[in-house]
Amino acid sequence: MKVLFLIMDGLGDLPNQVLDKKTPLEFAKAHYFKKLAKDGETGLMTTIDYGVVPGSDTAHLALFGYDPKEWYLGRGVYEALGAGIELREGDLALRANVATFKNGKILDRRAGRNGFGVKELFKEINGLEIDGVKIIAKHTVEHRGVIVLRGKDLSKEIVGNDPHKIGKIKDFEIKKGLKGKEKEKALFTIDVLRKLIETVNKKWENNSINKEREKKGLKKVNYLLLRGPGLLSKKPLSFEKKWGLKAACIAGGALYKGVAKFLGFNIYDVPGATGDTHTNLENKVKYAIEARENFVFLHIKATDSLGHDGKALEKARFIEKVDNVLKKFEIHKEFDLIFVSGDHSTPCVKREHSSDPVPLLFYGVNTRKDLGNFTETEAALGTYRVKALDILPIILDKLELAKKYGA
């Protein structure tokens, strides 16, 4: 048995004036999704809980059947795993932006969004040791990277140094209300981080890469802004052990690869999978079809980004593009069971995530036909009103792998 688990990030939406008061999914000529819905089951899914606005990280943990209240260890953990860093228990991971700094002020939080030489600059600080803590530094894309602290007594109960606006620099802080050993650990952690920032500033300030950047008219890279602390404090039971399915991940974005890696998925690097509107959808679907695992997670990011940008028509067009590629490959003939949904809504009118339920669709073995369709409005006529944590048990039962409760 082979399952396609297709998540279009931020798929759900609200009625939009630009689309004659329809949502992008309602407006899109997505005939293939609608055909699958006609022959399958539909419904609405609340990702985390009623009124709770999900992050993509917590939402995906829930979709894979792991309660985020237990398994959300902070964004840095999943970003670092997604960047290909082999984390060990006790590691503290943070997301990093390189920035331009002068006279106590941040002039640009992203150093002009230009990644020239940034990889080398991260390499220069990789392997540093500060007070017995090893620094692992890895560049990812553009001005972004990941910093991992490896040592004893680290804490994630801290707030990063990103001021989220230009101007005066901001110091690390420990979270309020910490006591005893936890407070000591947090104080030690921010002490190491302060020393790291100082070292970075000194090492990078007059670096040859900055001279080259200057010649090219690029902004100086001489500061690190760190946020999203996460501590790998424990490791979950793997997806395969928990659900009995071997899992594959096909995604462009590092965060999704990171969540999947955390749960022991096999991660495919698909050529041209960029996580934006220009992503190579055909390659991603081809890889999904060819994957030998029996649970294939296929993630598509651009629906969310277009929601954040408020581009309703583009979001509808992009959904049509996905629909066309799936139709072209006739995926309903390639998988025994297909699940399609989003990880949350990202309404174009809000340009942010929301708690509005997301339409879902099941097609394949042991599904009924219901009256719903794969749109926000018509999915309400369908079979399901569920939360994300319910999805894997439903899939298992459709695959006839669920254990009977009672006799």
Give bridge partners of residue 235 from the DSSP assignment: none
Tell me the C-alpha distance between 105 and 281, whole Å: 42
The distance of closest approach from Cβ of residue 343 to Zn ion in the complex, given in angstroms and rounded to an integer, is 4
The distance of closest approach from Cβ of residue 268 to Zn ion in the complex, given in angstroms and rounded to an integer, is 20
CA dihedral 235, 51, 227, 121 (to 10 degrees): 80
The distance of closest approach from Cβ of residue 255 to Zn ion in the complex, given in angstroms and rounded to an integer, is 9
Are 143 and 225 spatial neighbours (Cβ–Cβ below 8 Å)? Answer: no
Nearer to Zn ion, 150 or 227 (CB): 227
Nearer to Zn ion, 56 or 207 (CB): 56
The distance of closest approach from Cβ of residue 47 to Zn ion in the complex, given in angstroms and rounded to an integer, is 9
Which whole-number Å values give the CA distances from 18 to 21, 29, 313, in the listed order? 7, 16, 7
The distance of closest approach from Cβ of residue 353 to Zn ion in the complex, given in angstroms and rounded to an integer, is 7
Residue type, 398: K
Nearer to Zn ion, 293 or 343 (CB): 343
Which pairing describes strands 144-150 and 133-139: parallel, antiparallel, or unpaired?
A: antiparallel
The distance of closest approach from Cβ of residue 68 to Zn ion in the complex, given in angstroms and rounded to an integer, is 13
Nearer to Zn ion, 320 or 343 (CB): 343
Of 54, 41, 51, residue with least CA distance to 11: 54
Nearer to Zn ion, 314 or 343 (CB): 343
End-to-end C-alpha distance for the chain, whole angstroms? 26
Tell me the C-alpha distance between 251 and 297, whole Å: 8
A 10 A CB-CB count for 128 gives 16
The distance of closest approach from Cβ of residue 304 to Zn ion in the complex, given in angstroms and rounded to an integer, is 5
By the criterion CB under 5 A, which residues form the site for Zn ion? 9, 56, 304, 343
User: In the bound complex, which residue of the shown chain has the CB atom lying closest to Zn ion?
Assistant: 56
Sign of CA dihedral 386, 389, 392, 394: negative
Nearer to Zn ion, 57 or 108 (CB): 57
A 10 A CB-CB count for 41 gives 24
Sign of CA dihedral 147, 150, 156, 161: negative
Nearer to Zn ion, 26 or 304 (CB): 304
